[in-house]
Amino acid sequence: MPPPIERPTPADSKESNVKKVGLRDIARGAFAAIPDLLTVNRGLFGLATLKPESEMSIGRVLERWARQTPDRVAVQWQDRRWTYAEFNSWVNRLAASFSHHGVHSGDTVAILAENSPMQLACVAAAVKLGAVAGMLNFNQRGDVLRHSIDLVKPRILVLSDECSDALKSTGLSFETRPDIGFFWVQGQGHAPSESADCPVGFTDLARDAGRRRSINPESTRHVQARQPCFFIFTSGTTGLPKASVMTHYRWLASMAGVGNATLRLRSDDVFYCCLPFYHNNALTVAWGCVLSAGATLAIDRKFSASQFWDRLRHYRATGFTYIGELLRYLLNRDPLDNDTMHDVRLITGNGLRPEIWKQFQQRFGIERIYEFYGASESNIGFINAFGVTETAGFSPLPFAIVQFDADSDEPVRNTKGRLVKVKKGGVGLLISEVSERRPFDGYTDPEAGEKKMLRDVFKKGDCYFNTGDLVRDQGMRHIQFVDRVGDTFRWKGENVASTEVEGALANVSSIAHGAVYGVSVPGCDGRAGMAAITLKPGMSFDGKEVAATLIACLPRYAVPVFIRIQPEQETTGTFKYRKVELKQSGFDPKTVDDVWLLLPRENIFVPLTKKTFADIHAGRIQL
């Protein structure tokens, strides 16, 4: 059996490159939080007292701010503003409309819309009734979108006009699905107003809600924290999407732990969000942080690298939420004299690579970066509560990092059938304990949820959630994200983490960004590394320079064997590379253009010809 993953990964095998966390880091972070001790204590108290059976919910938090600070701005959109009182009243009218049309506690309100205040108001209206907001991915089409809708079994579906083509592609309508009430919304983010263009078979939500009362619904008082609030779809790497269940309990825990105890937002903060609301970074982290302080949420329809900082200046934003790819896009743009001319002092998100952390922070003058780790379906989260660089943070919850066999895609068990923990500094599979206090909320499909469970892990009868992520144990209960399990491959008997190689590609001056994955080669064990790259504008590919740079910072077995040059990288709606399609394409020059090869014992990438490809397949060239 090949050796398990239990050591520093190839790209940073030098001990000096492994970021470890010690008592000094913790003390420094704790000292920095002293001025905000009241806010921190409020968050810690919230975490300690929150119980699944508590009658506490997102709706009650919104109502509290509407009562305590009615005139404070809750939401900004372009040049429009809604105070907490105005936004709560709008939400109540929508909730009354949903209720009138048969939505009750436990029902699903599916929402197919791009970012807008209306979309967020619909979410809030649904959860005030004890219903669940099914956050459909507006990038999906056809059978995939239809599958997502069927998964959540909606009582009603709210469609924003810009997503009409997406719904049409599914074939669903009031005629084919009379069990679903179809509601229509026009425009991206304006307050309700009558409109005359409502499609046949749809209820005009703005017009209908405008006739309803704006008082808080009685149902909100009885919603328990354990109840589901959202269905968030996980993209996965194979198969159709799964709908993960997000509860009020986990949302409220994020609000207290991230918003109060970690970010320590203030009531005068403006927090910017351009990530889609079907993503938990937007719906739970950004909105939760804002509601932790009664601050302002500034919404944009989508991310634009060229307009990003101008949008922040327009809103006078003091913080924003990110995913790692978003920051990489910003860093790849040419530096400007006004890169630090903004009001942003803190950001939070996940996926910021260690090799660009300090570079991004220094170039754009960001005072605090709060990286976190979490997943829509996971029962554990990590947050960089102490402000340590190059870490996904700390978790007080029970977890373990265990040895993992990359060939079998399974955790390693010892002779007694138990899992084996890695040593400090080692890399392994992150698993989290499942208990009554920390349940696994799972997916709408129970069978899919059971596949994520690991049983009899350290003792008979215990149960852990398999996150599917490889992380490094940095000490002091801190972790550093390394790779998704499916993105780590073996070559020359060694484990290669795609994220580490992607980080090395960032050192090549001509490369804007690249996705790394493994491809099968006839006659070879494991998978050879392949990188699909996009060059910076005006740059050409220099096979000698690229090889020299990668060989200098990676072990030879981790250096990609193949490089494929693409004008653009295909990504998901949250900027993740579409690696499944890249893996399927392989390296055949008949079907894939512009592929380069690094031969053994050579120090230059050369074009892969049809003859060379045939020689590899025939075994005349050994890789």
Q: Which fold has domain 77-223?
A: Rossmann fold (3.40.50)
CB 314 within 8 Å of CB 300: no
Residue-wise pLDDT tens digits, 259-289: 988 899 999 999 999 999 999 999 999 999 9
User: Taking the mean position of all CA atoms in its chain, how far away is CA 229?
Assistant: 18
What band does 16 get if pLDDT is binned at 50, 70 and 90?
very low
| Residue 547 φ/ψ, nearest 5 degrees | -60, -45
Q: What is the pLDDT of residue 216?
A: 98
pLDDT of residue 573: 66
C-alpha to C-alpha distance for 378 and 380, rounded to whole angstroms: 6
Q: Greater confidence, 605 or 622?
A: 605
- pLDDT level of residue 142 (50, 70, 90 thresholds): confident
Residues 6+ apart with CB under 8 A from 192: 90, 93, 205, 206, 207, 209, 210
Domain limits of the chain? 19-24+397-485, 77-223, 492-618
Please, what is the average pLDDT of the chain?
88
Whole-number pLDDT of residue 348: 96
Least confident of 209-218, 256-265, 424-433, 568-577: 568-577
- Name the residue type at position 124: A
How far does CA 104 lie from the centroid of its chain?
30
Residue 583 pLDDT exceeds 90 = no
Assign domain 19-24+397-485 to its CATH architecture.
Roll (2.30)
- pLDDT attached to residue 440: 79
Report the greatest alpha carbon distance in the chain: 78
Mind listing the pLDDT tens digit for each residue in 147-191? 999 999 999 999 999 999 999 999 999 999 999 999 999 875 454
Residue 9 pLDDT exceeds 50: no
| pLDDT at residue 13 in the model | 40
For the entire predicted model, the pTM comes to 0.80
Q: pLDDT tens digits for 190-201?
A: 544 455 578 889
623's tokens: 């890789």
Taking the C-alpha atoms of residue 372 and residue 136, their distance in angstroms, rounded to an integer, is 24
Buried b (16+ CB within 10 A) or exposed e, 483-501: bbbbbbbbbbebbbbbbbb
pLDDT band for position 234 (cuts 50, 70, 90):
confident
More confident residue, 117 or 198: 117
CATH number belonging to the domain at 492-618, selected among 3.40.50.720, 3.40.630.30, 1.50.10.100, 3.30.300.30: 3.30.300.30
Write down the pLDDT at residue 122.
Answer: 98
Predicted confidence band of residue 10 (pLDDT cuts 50, 70, 90): very low
Report the pLDDT value the prediction gives residue 192, as an integer from 0 to 100.
47
pLDDT on residue 12: 40
* CATH fold match for the domains 77-223 and 492-618: no
pLDDT of 158:
98
Least confident of 129-138, 286-295, 608-617: 608-617
Average pLDDT score over residue span 472-487: 87
pLDDT tens for residues 486-498? 777 878 867 788 8
The predicted-structure confidence for 157-166, as pLDDT tens digits, reads as follows: 999 999 999 9
The pLDDT confidence band at residue 64, using thresholds 50, 70 and 90, is very high
The backbone region for 67, taken as left when phi is positive above 0, alpha when psi lies in -120 to 50, beta otherwise, is alpha
The share of the chain scoring above pLDDT 70, in percent, equals 93
Least confident of 225-229, 265-269, 347-351: 347-351
Contact 403, 411 (CB under 8 A): yes
What is the per-residue pLDDT across 457-477, written as a single tens digit (0 to 9) for each?
A: 999 999 999 998 889 999 999
User: What is the residue whose two structure tokens read 């937002």?
Assistant: 265
